[in-house]
Structure 1
Amino acid sequence: RAASQWMVKSKVISELQEACWEMVSAMASDIILLLDSDNDGIRTHAIKFVEGLIITLSPRMPDSDVPKRHENDISLERIPKDHPYIKYSESRARGWGGFASPRRPLRAPPVPADVLWEEGKAALEQLLKFMVHPAISSINLTAALGSLATIARQRPMFMAEVIQAYETLHANLPPTLAKSQVSSVRKNLKLHLLSVLRHPSSGDFQPQITTLLVDLGTQQAEIARSMPNPRDVRKRPRDEPDAALKKMKIGEPGAAWRAAASLPSSREPLGRGGWEDTSLVASRCPPGDIRDRGWQDGPCWALPSGSLGSLRCPPEDTGDKGWQNGPSWGVRLPGAVWALGGGAAGRGPPLRRAHGCRRAPQARVKILASLVTQFEVPLKSEVLAFVLDDIRGRLDLAFAWLFQEYNAYLSRYPSGSLDHYDECLIGLLSGLQEKPDQKDGIFTKVVLEAPLITESALEVIRKYCEDESRTYLGMSTLRDLIFKRPSRQFQYLHVLLDLSSHEKDKVRQQALLFIKRMYEKDQLREYVEKFALNYLQLLVHPNPPSVLFGADKDTEVAAPWTEETIKQCLYLYLALLPHNHKLIHELASVYTEAIADIKRTVLRVIEQPIRGMGMNSPELLLLVENCPKGAETLVTRCLHSLTDKVPPSPELVKRVRDLYHKRLPDVRFLIPVLNGLEKKEVIQALPKLIKLNPIVVKEVFNRLLGTQHGEGTSAVSPLNPGELLIALHNIDSSKCDMKSIIKATNLCFAERNVYTSEVLAVVMQQLMEQSPLPMLLMRTVIQSLTMYPRLGGFVMNILSRLIMKQV
C-alpha cells in the first residue's frame, strides 16, 4: 500500500523506485506463500496482509464501506490515467477488465494496471483456498472470516465470492476443530454475516445470507434489524425472477419451502453442533403448514399415546418431484407408546424407521427423544440398546435424549430430580465402556458435551481410566473436563489425583504425567500441592488411615504399614518435588515423626527425586544447613544421592563442612563430600571414619581411591593411594584402636590395581624414613613381599637399613 502510494505520487519514476517496486512485489509473493507456514501466528499475519493486498489492488466502488481512517488509502481507481509507470487503455470505461497492453518506455517496462487487478483477484483466490483447507486452525479460520467480511464491505464486487465461501464453510467445517472451537467459529460467522447483511449491496444476496443466519440460530427480529435501509440500497439492474416463483402466492401453504428449494445453492446444513441445532429444521416448518403435513394438533410430546411404528420415512426418491408440495414427512403419532410396549422383537424396526429418515432427521430425532423421556424404564432400556447398537450413526439421538432429560429436570427445578438424566448418562457411558474399540473418541465426546456430569457418571469415568487399555483416553477426557468446566474443575481434578496412587503401575504413571502438566497451571497448583502434602502427612500416623483402602473417612485401621501403603502416600509428592524444591522441608518434618519402617522406605525411594533437584538447589542447601534433629539420615541419604555419580559442588561442600563443625559433628556427613575436602581435613577425619561399619568404611575408601563402580565421573581425591596408606600408619592409637587400623590397611592391600609394587615401594621408603618408625611398618613390609615377591631385593635393602632404627 505504501509503495503504491509512493509510486502514484511520483511524476517521474526513478530507477530506485523501479527497483523498490520490484522488491516489494517479490515480498508480497513471498508473504502469500506464508499462508502455508507451520507457524499459526505467521499464517494469521499473512491473512491480514492478503486482505490489505486485495483491497489495494482493486477499485473502490461508489457503495464501498470504507472506514474513515482508510479513506485516503490508495486503490486502483486513484491511479492517474497519465501515470508514467502504470498504464491504462483507452477502453478503461468498459470496466476494470479492459486494460490494454502497457506502452513500454525506453528505460524500463511499466506495470500494467490490469496485471495489478489480476493479482488482487488471484490473492482473493488464494485466501478462499486457504479457508477451505481441512486442517485450518480455529485462530486462522476466525481471522479469515473477518478478512472476507472486510473485503465484502469495502469491495462489493467480491460479495458473491464471499457469500459463497461462507456457505461452503458452513456446510463443511474442518473436522479438526474441537466442540468449543466449532461454537466460536459459528459465532464469528454469524457476526460477520450480520455485518455484511447491513451493507447496501447485500440486497441480491439476502436470501442466502438469511438462510445461513437462520441455520446459525439467529432470531428473525435480529435479522430484520440488520437489513439495510431501502433508501441506502443502490439501484441495480433487477434480475427477472423465475416464472414459477412469480406465480407463487406468498400465503399459499408450502410456498416458502418451494421457494427455498428453488434457490441456486448446493449448500448442505451443518451437522449437529450443539443442543440448539436439534430444533432448526422444525423451526423452519411454516406455521400454517404443520397440520397439512400430517401432524396432529397439540404438542407431540404431550400425547399419552402414539405409534413410533408409523413414523414413516418419505420415499427414497430424492428428486425435485418429491418436494413439489413441501417436505411431506408422513408422521403419524397415535398409538406410539402402545406399539413400543409390545415385545422386543417388534421394537427395533419402528425405532430404526423413526430415526433413520433421511429428510428432516433433526425434527424426527427431537420428536423421538421427547417421546423417550415419557417412557418407563424397560422401554428406555430398549432405546438405549438401540442407540448403543450403532452409537456412531445414532449419536444424534443419544444427545437429543440426554438433553431432553436434562431439560425435563430444569423445567421442574429446584424440586426436580436428576434420576432420569443420571440413568440416561450412565447408561450411555457404561455401554460405551463395554465397547471393545473406542479409538474414535465417542466416549470423550459424550462426556464433554453432556450438560452435567453427575457423581455416578464421574465414577464411570474413573473406572474407564482404571482400564489399562484406555487409561490415556480416559485421563485425557478428565483433563478436558478440568479445563473446560472450571466451576467443578476441582471435583474432576480430585479424581485424577486419586489415580496418582493407584495400585496399577500404568494407571498411576499416566496419572502422574497428567498431574505434572497441570501443576504448571497457576489455578490448579495450590490444590494439587495441598493434596500431595495431605497424603504425605498420613505417614505420621502409627497405622495407615482407611482412606488408603478406599474408605470415605480418615480413620486408622489395625493393619500395619507396608511398603506399598507407604509408597501410596509418596507417589504424588515425589513427582512434584523436582518441580517445587520447597516441598523438601515438608518431607524432613514428616520424617522426624515417622516410624522406622516408614523411614527405611523413604530412604529407598528418595534417590531419583533428589537427583532431579540437583546439588545447587537453594532449598536443598538450606535443608543441609539447617538439618532438623532426627532427619540426619535423610540428609545424609540426600547427599549420597547427589554425589554418587558427580563430584560435590563447592557450595555443597561448604554447607556440609559448616554443619559438621558448628552443629552436628557426625563424621558420616563428610563421606559424600570427601573428595571436596582439603587433604588435612580428610587426614583428621580418618580415625573416626575407619571406626564406622565395615560397609561404610569400604565406601569411604572407594571414594578416596576412585574405585566406585558404575557410571559417573569421580572427583580427584585429595589423597593419592600412597598418602592414604601412610596416613593410616600414622594414626594415633589413642584415637583409634589398632584393630580398626589393620582392617583399614587390609582394604588398601585388597585393591591390587591401585596398590602396585611401585606404589608400595614408595610407601615403604617413606615410612622407613620416619622417626620413630610406625608400629605397623613390618606388617606392611611382609604383606608387600607376599603380594609382590619381586620386591625381595628392595625389602632386604630396607631391612638392612632398619637394623639401626628404633621401632
Structure 2
Amino acid sequence: MESSEILVEPLGGSDSLADKIGELIREAQSASDIKQKLEYLNKAQHLLLSVDSSGHLLDNFLDEMLEFTSSEDFHMRCFSANFIEKACKKDADILKKAITNLSYLLMSGSQSRGGVMVMKRVITVCANIYPYILKWACSRKADAEAEKCWEAFSVLKGRIVSHADSDNEGIRTMTFKFLEAIVLSQSPKTEESDVSRGEDVMSLSDVPRDHRFISYRKLQSEAAINLQSLMDQTTLPHISAQNLLTVLNVLCNVARRRPEYMARILDCLEALHINLPPTLGASQVKSMRKELKAHLLRILKHPASLLLHPRITTLLTDLGASQSEINRNMPPNIAELRRKASKRQTAAEEPAAKKKAKSDEGSGVVLDDDEYQDDEPSTSEAGPPIPDSAHQSAIDITAEWIYERLNPKLVANLVLISLVTLPDEMPAAFASSFTQIATAGTEQHRRHLARSMATQATAQELGPGAEQMRKEKLAKFMERQSARRDGAFIPPTPAVHLGGHQKQKPPLVPIGALPGPAPAALPAVSKMKQQFNIYTNTKELSKEEMEGLFECCFMSIMKAERRARQGGTMSMHHVVLVRIATRFHPLPEKLYNELIEFIVDATQHRYRTDLALLWVTELYSQYQGFTVCFNHDYMSSFGHAPKSELFAKFDTTLCNLLQKLLDKGQHKEALFHKLLLDCPLVTTNALKILEKACLDEVYCAFGITTLRELLLTRNRQRGELVDLLFKLCFHERAEVKQLCVDTLKELCSLKYMHRDLRLKLIEQLNECTLPTPPPHFVSYNHATEFDETIYRSGIHLYLAILPLDTSLLFPLAQAYTKSSTLLKKIMLRSIENSIKAIGMDNEDMLHLLEECPVGAESFVARVVHLLTERHTATREVVSRMKKLHESRNTDVRSLIPILNGLEREDIIRILPLFVLKPAYQNSVGLVFKKLLTGRNVDTGEPTLSAPELIYEYHKVQPSTPEEFEVQTANLRELLDSRAMTREAVADGIERLMDLNPLPALFYCTLVIVYKKYPSLDSFLGNIVQKVIAKDLSSRDEITRKAFYRALNSLKTVAYSAILTKFTMEEFEEFLGYSNRAETLSALKEFLPTLSTHQQKNINSAIVDMIKDRDEKKDKTKDDKDREKDKERERIRLDRRDRERERDKKERRERDSR
C-alpha cells in the first residue's frame, strides 16, 4: 500500500504519532474482518517504518505487532512475516524478539489452512534478511544476546535447508533462493564479482577471522556444501521443470557474483546439458535449453570467464548459438583481459616450477585443503581464482586420457555398438531438442566431448583421474600417519596463493634428527629444543582418574545431543554413545541408569528411539557373537563371558527400558512400540512387561496393537505371542477381551497365520474339557476348579472366530462329547450368534449334520433349531436330520426344526409321540406353531393345514385314561393357536363328522369351541343334531359319557336337539349325567322358544316330565317366580362369562400381533 493511500491526515509530534499507531493497533485487534485488520496494520506499519525516523516507536510497539503472528488466518501470518522482514532491514536488533515468531511461523505452517503459503513467505523473508542478519551479528562480537539470537537463527536456517527435498514444489523453489542467499553471503567477494544487479550487502570478506562466535571457516564450508547441494539438484531424475529453472538461475547468478565457483558451476551445466531429467516434456526441454543458452551468454561477458571461453563457446554451439551471437556477447575489453591473464599466468608458473624442482614427490594431484583434515584455517589472497581441487584435477586427467584415444575408428565402433539400442523411430522429445553441432570434428569439439565424458566418469569414480586421486590421497594419509607415529612436526595446511601455487612446505623432521650446534660456538652445552611428544610428555592415569574422566566424557557426549542434531550427525552421536557403553569399558551402574533416563526422557524420548535400538542391538550382537570389535581388556573381562551372561545383559537392558517407560506412563509412545517391534529378540521378561501394558486401564489398546504388530512380524516367536493373546482373553475386563477378539479376527483373515491360530483355538477348546483348568486359564483369578466364568472365557475366542472359519464346527462338536454337563449347557447357550451367522447352506454345517460325532446329537439338534428359528429348513438339512434320527434313534424333539420339511405321513406318524407322552408336553406348543405357521420346502404351503391338523389330532387314539387326559389338555393349546381361525375350526369339525364312531375327544372340542367362538352356536347346534341323528356317540361308555357332558355344557345350543331328537330313554340317560332339577327347569324355560313345528316333534313324555304338573300344583306362585328369576340370572351370568372370555382372547391375539 502506498503512503498516499495510508496517511489521510497530517501528524504532529512523536506523541501524536505514537497515539495514532496505538489507536490503529487497537482497531486492528478489535476488527472482525480480515481486510480491515490488514488495512489498519498496514497503516501502523507505514508509520513505524517510514514516518518514524527515530526507531524508538518500533521498539515500543514491536510486541503488539508481533502478537498477530499467532492469528489463525494465513493472511495475517503472511503480514507478520513481511513486517519482520522490513523491521529487520531497518533495525536488525529487532531479530532478538522476532526470531521466535519466525520459527513459530515456519513450524506451524503445515498445521493450519494456507500453511504452505505462510512457509513460502517465511523462507522468502529469511532469504531477504539473511545478509543483514549476518552483517549485524559480525558487528556484535561481545554481545551475548546477539550470540543467542545467531544460534537460534542458525537452527531456523537448518530447518529451512531441510526443505530442499520437500514434496511441495513452491517450498522447494523458495528454499533454493534461500540457499543462494547463504552461498553469496558466506563466500568471499572479489574485484571481478558482478554487481550489476545491486551491491552485495554482505560477503565472507567482511567477516572478521577473530570473531568470538562466528567461524570464518565454518561459514565458508557451509557455503561450499550448500552450493554442492544446489548442483546435486540438477542430477535428480524427478526434479520438476520449475525447480530446475530456479536452480539454473541460482547457479548462474552465483557464478557471476562469485567467480571462484564459476568452473565448478560450468561443469555442472555441461553435465545438465548432456543429462536433462527424463521427466521433462518436449516443450520443457526446449525452454530449458533456451534458458541455459541465455545464462551462458551472460557468463561469457563476465571478465573472470576468459580462461573458460573455449568450454563456454563449445557448449553454446551445442545449444544452437551462432558465431555472430557468441561474438556479440564477448567482453568489450577482451584484448586487455588476455594480456592481464597472460602476465598472471607467467607470474604463477615461475614459483610453481621452483616448487616442482625441489619437491621429491614429482607432479601429482593437488588435494583439497579439507582432505588434510586439519583444524588450521587456510589463507587465500585476492585475485582470479584458479580451480585446483582434486576433483577438478581428476576430470582433467581423465579428459586428457579420453582425448588421446578419441580417434575416428574408436568413435565409429562406439556408434555401431550403440545402434543396437536405438529405437526404430526418433523420439519426439529428441527431435524437438536436437541441434546440429556446427563445430563437429574440430579439436575444440573433441576436447569438449572428452571433458563431458570425463565429468560423468569421475562422478562415478571411474577413470585414471579418479584412480590417481585415490592413490594420492592414500599416500598423503599414510605419510601423515607415519609422521605422527614418529613424533614429527606436522605443518598446517598449505595456503593457496594468487597463481594457484602453494607455499613451500617444510619437510617432516623426526625429533632428534637435526644435529645440535657446534661445541666451540657456545661456552656451555645447551640441550636441543625438542618438539612435543605425547608418548614422552604424558604419564599414565590412575584408575580413579580414568573412571572420573570416563564419566565426564560420557556425560559430555550425552549432553552434546542438541549440537549433533543441529549438525546432522545424530547417527554418529548414537554410535559413539553405544560403543563406549558396550565395547570398551564395563559401564558403571550410575552411568547405566543415566543412559536409560536419558533415553526415556519425557520430552526428548521421541528423538532417541534409534539410540535405544542401537544399544539393545549391539548387546544382542555380542550375545550371538556377531560383534568382535572389543577393547582387549574389556574382551578379556567380559567378552569371553558365557552366553548366558551376555543374554542376561541384553534382556536386562531391554526390560529396564520397557519397564521405565511403563512406570512413567509412556508405554503409549512410539519408543515403547518400536523397542518391541525392532529389537532383535523379544524375551520372555519383555513379554511380561507387554502384558502389563495390554492390561493398562486407559491405554490397553496401544499394548494390544503392539502385540498385533509383533504377531505379524515375528514368525519365530509366534507361538509365545499367540499364547499371550489367548491368555489375555481370560482377564475379567470386557474391553480387553473385545480388543483380543478384534485382533484375532483380523489375524485369522491372513493366510500365513490362519493355520497356527486355528490349531491354538482347537487346543484351548480341548483344554476346557480337562478335569482342572490349565495354569494360563486361572492366571488372573487363581481359581482351582472350572466355573461358568472360566468356561465362557475359554470358548469366547473360539465362538468369535467360528463364523470366519466354519471348519471349526466339527472340532466343537467333538469337544462337546467330552465336556462336562456345565460346559455343555454353556455351549448350547453361547453358540446362538455364531451359528446364526453361518447359515444352513454352509458345507461344514452340512458335514456336521451328516457326520455327527456320537454323543453330540443334542448339540446338532440345538444348531438346527437355531438355524430354523426364522428360516425354513432346506432340503439338505431335512434329509440329514431325518437320516440321523433314523440311524441313531435320537430324541423325537430333534425333528421339530424340520417338521415342515417332512412328508405328511412322517408328521402323522410322529404326532402321537408329542401329543400323548407327558415328557414331551413342553414341546407340544412349538410343534403346533411349526405345523401351522411353517411352509413346506418344496411347495411353499403348510404340510398340514389347520383343518387337517384338527382332523389328524382327533384320530390319535390314547391307550390309557392318562393319555386321554394329556390329549384333552393339549387340545385347548391347539385351538388357542394364533393361526387357528373360526373358519378353520368349523372346517375341521365338519371333516370329523365323517368319522364313525366319533372319538370322545370330539365332544371336548365342541365345548371348547362353544366357549371360544359364540358366533358358531348355530353351527354347533346343527352338529349336535347330526350326531344324535346318526347315533355317532354310542361307541362305548366313555364316548357316551363324554357326549352327555358336552351336551350339558353346551346348554341352550344343544337344547333344541335334545328335545326334538332324544327318545325318552335317551333323555332319562342324559338327565342322569346332569343336575336333573336345574336341567328340567332350564328346558322348561327354553321350551317356549321353539317353533310350533319343533314342539310337535318333541316326545310327549318328555314334555310331561318337563312340565311335571303334579309337582307344580304344590308350589306356590312365589316359589315359581323365584325359580324363574334364578334361571334367568344364571343364563345372564353364563352369557356374560362367555363374552368376557371371548374379549380377553381377542385382546391377547391383538397384543401378540
Identify the TM-score tier after normalising by the shorter chain.
0.5 to 0.7
* Alpha-carbon distance in structure 2 between the residues aligned to 1:776 and 1:672: 28
What SS class does the counterpart of residue 900 from structure 2 fall into?
Answer: helix
Shift of 1:520: 4.0
Shift of 1:201: 5.0
Query: Counterpart of 2:966?
Result: 740
Kept after mapping to 2: 8 A contact 1:306/1:337 = no
Shift of 1:666: 3.0
Kept after mapping to 1: 8 A contact 2:282/2:429 = no
Query: Counterpart of 1:126?
Result: none
Query: Counterpart of 1:774?
Result: 999
TM-score (norm 1): 0.58
Query: Counterpart of 2:734?
Result: 505
Are 1:537 and 2:743 matched, yes or no?
A: no
Kept after mapping to 1: 8 A contact 2:558/2:577 = no
Q: Which amino acid aligns with 2:842?
A: S
Q: Which amino acid aligns with 1:75?
A: M
Shift in alpha-carbon separation, 1:566–1:64, aligned structure 2, 3 A: farther
In structure 1, list runs of 5 or more residues that go unmatched: 1-45, 81-85, 96-155, 161-198, 207-225, 234-248, 259-295, 308-332, 342-346, 552-556, 709-713
Q: Which amino acid aligns with 1:696?
A: S
Are 1:202 and 2:456 matched, yes or no?
A: yes
What SS class does the counterpart of residue 716 from structure 2 fall into?
Answer: helix
Computed over aligned residues only, the root mean square deviation of the Cα atoms, in angstroms, reads: 4.5
From 795, 801, 805, the equivalent of 2:1020 is 795
Query: Counterpart of 1:451?
Result: 680
What SS class does the counterpart of residue 607 from structure 2 fall into?
Answer: coil
* Alpha-carbon distance in structure 2 between the residues aligned to 1:715 and 1:620: 24
Higher mean Cα deviation, 694-703 or 493-502? Answer: 493-502
Kept after mapping to 2: 8 A contact 1:305/1:336 = no
TM-score (norm 2): 0.41
Query: Counterpart of 1:688?
Result: 913
Larger radius of gyration: 2
Shift of 1:791: 1.8
Shift of 1:458: 1.8
Are 1:701 and 2:701 matched, yes or no?
A: no
Shift of 1:686: 0.8
Shift in alpha-carbon separation, 1:92–1:623, aligned structure 2, 3 A: same
Query: Counterpart of 1:353?
Result: 559
Kept after mapping to 2: 8 A contact 1:591/1:631 = yes
Q: Which amino acid aligns with 2:760?
A: F
Are 1:393 and 2:607 matched, yes or no?
A: yes
- Return the structure number with greater relative CO, CA threshold 8 A, min gap 6: 1
Query: Counterpart of 2:745?
Result: 516
Shift in alpha-carbon separation, 1:760–1:92, aligned structure 2, 3 A: same
Q: Which amino acid aligns with 1:335?
A: G
Please show how residues 64-75 of structure 1 align to structure 2 within 5 Å. Answer: 70-75=421-426
* Alpha-carbon distance in structure 1 between the residues aligned to 2:836 and 2:277: 54
Kept after mapping to 2: 8 A contact 1:656/1:670 = yes
Q: Which amino acid aligns with 2:920?
A: N
* Alpha-carbon distance in structure 1 between the residues aligned to 2:902 and 2:415: 83
From 228, 236, 244, the equivalent of 2:462 is 228
Kept after mapping to 1: 8 A contact 2:946/2:988 = no
* Alpha-carbon distance in structure 1 between the residues aligned to 2:279 and 2:425: 11
* Alpha-carbon distance in structure 2 between the residues aligned to 1:66 and 1:550: 75
Q: State, as a whole percentage, how many aligned pairs show the same letter.
A: 26
Shift of 1:632: 1.5
Shift of 1:565: 1.7
* Alpha-carbon distance in structure 1 between the residues aligned to 2:830 and 2:947: 38
From 645, 657, 673, the equivalent of 1:428 is 657
* Alpha-carbon distance in structure 1 between the residues aligned to 2:1025 and 2:492: 131
Query: Counterpart of 1:369?
Result: 578
Shift of 1:767: 1.9
What SS class does the counterpart of residue 481 from structure 1 fall into?
Answer: helix
* Alpha-carbon distance in structure 2 between the residues aligned to 1:559 and 1:65: 88
Shift of 1:741: 1.5
What SS class does the counterpart of residue 768 from structure 2 fall into?
Answer: helix
Shift in alpha-carbon separation, 1:467–1:636, aligned structure 2, 3 A: same
* Alpha-carbon distance in structure 1 between the residues aligned to 2:833 and 2:491: 78
* Alpha-carbon distance in structure 2 between the residues aligned to 1:630 and 1:76: 79
* Alpha-carbon distance in structure 2 between the residues aligned to 1:672 and 1:200: 89
1:307-328 deviation digits (Å, cap 9, x = unpaired)? 9xxxxxxxxxxxxxxxxxxxxx
* Alpha-carbon distance in structure 2 between the residues aligned to 1:303 and 1:588: 78
Query: Counterpart of 2:803?
Result: 578
Kept after mapping to 2: 8 A contact 1:365/1:397 = yes
* Alpha-carbon distance in structure 2 between the residues aligned to 1:624 and 1:485: 39
Kept after mapping to 2: 8 A contact 1:465/1:473 = yes
Shift of 1:56: 9.5
Are 1:474 and 2:474 matched, yes or no?
A: no
Shift in alpha-carbon separation, 1:65–1:470, aligned structure 2, 3 A: farther
Kept after mapping to 2: 8 A contact 1:646/1:715 = no
1:708-758 deviation digits (Å, cap 9, x = unpaired)? 9xxxxx97531222322222111122399212222221112333x433322
* Alpha-carbon distance in structure 2 between the residues aligned to 1:227 and 1:340: 39
Query: Counterpart of 1:760?
Result: 985
* Alpha-carbon distance in structure 1 between the residues aligned to 2:614 and 2:492: 27
What SS class does the counterpart of residue 452 from structure 1 fall into?
Answer: coil
Query: Counterpart of 1:603?
Result: 828
Kept after mapping to 2: 8 A contact 1:703/1:717 = no
* Alpha-carbon distance in structure 1 between the residues aligned to 2:838 and 2:681: 41
What SS class does the counterpart of residue 776 from structure 1 fall into?
Answer: helix
Query: Counterpart of 2:26?
Result: none
Are 1:379 and 2:591 matched, yes or no?
A: yes
What SS class does the counterpart of residue 647 from structure 1 fall into?
Answer: coil
Kept after mapping to 2: 8 A contact 1:422/1:454 = yes
Q: Which amino acid aligns with 1:377?
A: E
Kept after mapping to 2: 8 A contact 1:426/1:460 = yes
| Count of aligned positions | 533
Shift of 1:453: 1.9
Shift of 1:427: 2.0
1:99-126 deviation digits (Å, cap 9, x = unpaired)? xxxxxxxxxxxxxxxxxxxxxxxxxxxx
Query: Counterpart of 1:282?
Result: none
Kept after mapping to 1: 8 A contact 2:578/2:614 = yes
* Alpha-carbon distance in structure 2 between the residues aligned to 1:352 and 1:622: 67
What SS class does the counterpart of residue 563 from structure 2 fall into?
Answer: coil
What SS class does the counterpart of residue 769 from structure 1 fall into?
Answer: coil
Shift of 1:649: 0.7
Whose helix fraction is larger, Structure 1's or Structure 2's?
A: 2
* Alpha-carbon distance in structure 2 between the residues aligned to 1:515 and 1:665: 37
Shift of 1:653: 0.7
What SS class does the counterpart of residue 712 from structure 2 fall into?
Answer: helix
Q: Which amino acid aligns with 2:613?
A: F
Q: Which amino acid aligns with 2:973?
A: L
* Alpha-carbon distance in structure 2 between the residues aligned to 1:665 and 1:338: 83
1:745-798 deviation digits (Å, cap 9, x = unpaired)? 1112333x4333222222222222332223212211111111122222222222
Kept after mapping to 2: 8 A contact 1:200/1:232 = no
Shift of 1:382: 3.0
Query: Counterpart of 2:976?
Result: 750
Q: Which amino acid aligns with 2:773?
A: P
Shift in alpha-carbon separation, 1:608–1:518, aligned structure 2, 3 A: same
1:301-360 deviation digits (Å, cap 9, x = unpaired)? x999799xxxxxxxxxxxxxxxxxxxxxxxxx983445599xxxxx8xx57633332434
* Alpha-carbon distance in structure 2 between the residues aligned to 1:229 and 1:533: 67
* Alpha-carbon distance in structure 1 between the residues aligned to 2:608 and 2:653: 15
In structure 2, list runs of 5 or more residues that go unmatched: 1-237, 240-275, 287-317, 319-410, 440-447, 468-479, 484-489, 497-533, 628-638, 1034-1153
Shift in alpha-carbon separation, 1:353–1:542, aligned structure 2, 3 A: closer
Kept after mapping to 1: 8 A contact 2:748/2:754 = yes
From 643, 651, 654, the equivalent of 2:876 is 651
Query: Counterpart of 2:946?
Result: 721
* Alpha-carbon distance in structure 1 between the residues aligned to 2:430 and 2:963: 106
Shift of 1:254: 9.4
* Alpha-carbon distance in structure 2 between the residues aligned to 1:518 and 1:560: 31
What SS class does the counterpart of residue 578 from structure 1 fall into?
Answer: coil
